[in-house]
């Protein structure tokens, strides 16, 4: 029987846990509080990220430059690899996106009731990010060489 003819209940899913790391929100609950408070988490870039003078130009057509100096910056996320039983040398080789994915997955699982009411046979963690896909590599290279 094809998947299109099966009973929809057999294909149903339920989102039972959520995890997030976002600007000014180290977890989903903090993000929701920011939404309720109407908090704007977009700020100017700070020198610890990159020097605006190296990359910014008010002309949107200036080659090799950006006309924006604002963004939503994730800050203050602590990754304790020993709590996740990740060897220190492995943790040192991980990038922030990998660390954040593990933290978000853990938060989603805890939000779903792990380890108490948890069925590992019918559970999945779905990750999403907004890191720019393949173009991300070009951006990183550009930031490495002002």
What DSSP state is assigned to residue 107?
H
Residue 14, SS3?
Answer: coil
User: What digits encode the pLDDT tens for the residues 27-75?
Assistant: 999 999 999 999 999 999 999 888 898 889 999 999 888 899 999 999 8
Span between the terminal Cα atoms of the chain, in Å = 58
Q: Are 77 and 25 in contact (CB under 8 A)?
A: no
Which sequence spans correspond to the domains of the chain? 16-43+70-144
Q: Highest-confidence range of 38-47, 79-88, 112-121, by mean pLDDT?
A: 38-47
């Amino acid at each position: 029987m094809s998947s299109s003819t099966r009973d929809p209940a057999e294909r149903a899913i339920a989102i039972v846990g959520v995890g997030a790391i976002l600007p000014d929100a180290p977890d989903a609950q903090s993000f929701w509080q920011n939404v309720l408070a109407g908090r704007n988490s977009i700020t100017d870039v700070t020198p610890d990220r990159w020097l605006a003078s190296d990359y910014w130009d008010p002309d949107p057509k200036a080659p090799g430059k950006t006309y924006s100096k604002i963004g939503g910056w994730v800050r203050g996320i602590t990754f304790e690899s020993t709590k996740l039983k990740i060897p220190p040398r492995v943790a040192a080789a991980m990038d922030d996106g990998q660390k954040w994915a593990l933290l978000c997955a853990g938060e989603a699982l805890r939000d779903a009731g792990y380890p108490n009411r948890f069925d590992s046979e019918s559970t999945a963690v779905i990750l999403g990010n907004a890191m720019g896909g393949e173009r991300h590599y070009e951006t990183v290279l550009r930031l490495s060489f002002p």
